[in-house]
Structure 1
């Protein structure tokens, strides 16, 4: 496995609509493993293929907490519900954080890394992460959805409060 270079904004690949994955062979498996290692190395909770220079519909979300990673291959949003505004960041926008409104609940139809189809329902932070990564696959960047930029100092202060 390898740590890949994370593509930074304003690279044009980040705004491309990605092609569906049709080959679930060794090449995809190596890419997914490398994406996962890259995400962990960068202290992220999600990463999409265009963020490592591949314009295909593949992404990963891993919130840790003893859960298995969510492999999102060719994902389609089936339903959403509710609204919630929370702070987001992005590996392709180091140092940029902002409040983004997203649905609180999402239902997704996607393929696992072996090509088998599944449905997933998620809420809150997990739903937010999944929708953020699917946006990447559609060439939509979180900076276009920011309602208010949140300075890094404000984030650090909020984290310190939570720890107390």
Structure 2
């Protein structure tokens, strides 16, 4: 059975990252966009990163231009926007499609039929909570604010 740890992804700087480095950590994978009504969620994602990073938690953000062309910039522009506007410290990855044949293997796995949430991503800021073993344990639709995932994160980190 595949897990998050079986994949790699291109970081926003173009370097490949083996996602096995997140083994033993709780991860929130999210598709993002800088010109979306949900873009202010970057602040909430950063708050989660800062609050729980030392306890074993990471946000992994994947910019996506598939929904309303709301992420038109290149990697440099996206990174600058996130840094200057939201002071993000969490990992930003290269812009991807999250649905369809151009979606990288990670996103195909997150949405395929043998996962707990077998459906295509509907919009920007869809979030997947992944446990320390790399398994998807929860999916949050875009309208859910990042802070609404705190109880689930605490439970997985065994802090609640």
**TM-score class, shorter:** under 0.3
Using CA pairs below 8 Å that are at least 6 residues apart, which structure has the higher relative contact order?
Answer: 2
Could you say which structure has the higher strand fraction?
A: 1
Q: Normalized against structure 2, the TM-score is what?
A: 0.25
